[in-house]
Amino acid sequence: MTAAEPPQEGARRRVCFLLKVRQEKLAEYRQRHAEVWPEMRAALAATGWHNYSLFLRDDGLLVGYLETEDFDRARAAMDATEVNARWQQQMAPYFEALDGAAPDAAMVPLAEVFHLD
């Protein structure tokens, strides 16, 4: 599959995105993610976020990865949950350059250029 081809029906698409955590908030951000609310974890799973991982570099670069059938649909389904609204409101101060957007709205998928099956 090339980047231009849509995934087959029922197939999961790999999604990777970047965000930037404020330098002064790194330790607190790590701690918050060591204790993600059970209802947030359940909502992510129920709305199609699979194999969701976050990686944080010491300079604040955050790399997110997930697999889903349809990222727009999965993000919209999460956006419709009450728990996500609470989580995004609490997470917004941790990030740089959101320009007023919620952190999940700033997740712009990177183009996949290679994958080793």
Q: CA 82, CA 72: separation in Å to the nearest integer?
A: 18
42 sits in which H/E element: helix 38-46
DSSP state of 26: H
Q: CA 99, CA 106: separation in Å to the nearest integer?
A: 9
Query: Is 115 an active-site residue?
Result: no
Neighbours of 24 (CB within 10 A): 9
- Least Cα distance to 107 among 41, 19, 35 occurs for 19
In the set 33, 57, 73, 86, the catalytic residue is: 33
Q: CA 58, CA 86: separation in Å to the nearest integer?
A: 26
Q: List active site positions.
A: 33
